[in-house]
């Protein structure tokens, strides 16, 4: 079963800390989001393997935009 990792708010991706095929545990850091002049880590919602990454560092994102897909 796949799960999506979504942006919690509007911001800019500062760093991508994972890669396709990587196994993650729950709460492992996947992205760093800059929003309201603060850096916010975005962690894995569950354990799984990264199936797809849909954003890159420097990209602006909207609230609830899918950042990655886990399987």
What is the reported pLDDT for 2?
85
Quickly name the fold that domain 3-70 has. Answer: OB fold (Dihydrolipoamide Acetyltransferase, E2P) (2.40.50)
Domain range list for the chain: 3-70
Residue at token pair 């929003």? 35
Distance CA 61, CA 68 (A): 12
Distance CA 19, CA 8 (A): 20
pLDDT tens for the chain, residues 1 to 71: 789 999 999 999 999 999 999 999 999 999 999 999 999 999 999 999 999 999 999 999 999 999 999 99
How far CA 41 is from CA of 1, 11, 35, 50, in Å, comes to 24, 12, 11, 17
Residue at token pair 């994102």? 61
């Amino acid at each position: 079963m796949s799960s999506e990792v979504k942006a919690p708010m509007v911001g800019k991706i500062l760093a991508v800390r994972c890669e396709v095929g990587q196994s993650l545990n729950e709460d492992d850091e996947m992205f760093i989001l800059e929003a309201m002049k603060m850096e916010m880590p975005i962690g894995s919602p569950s354990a799984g393997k990264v199936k797809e990454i849909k954003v890159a560092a420097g990209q602006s994102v909207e609230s609830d935009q899918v950042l990655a897909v886990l399987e």
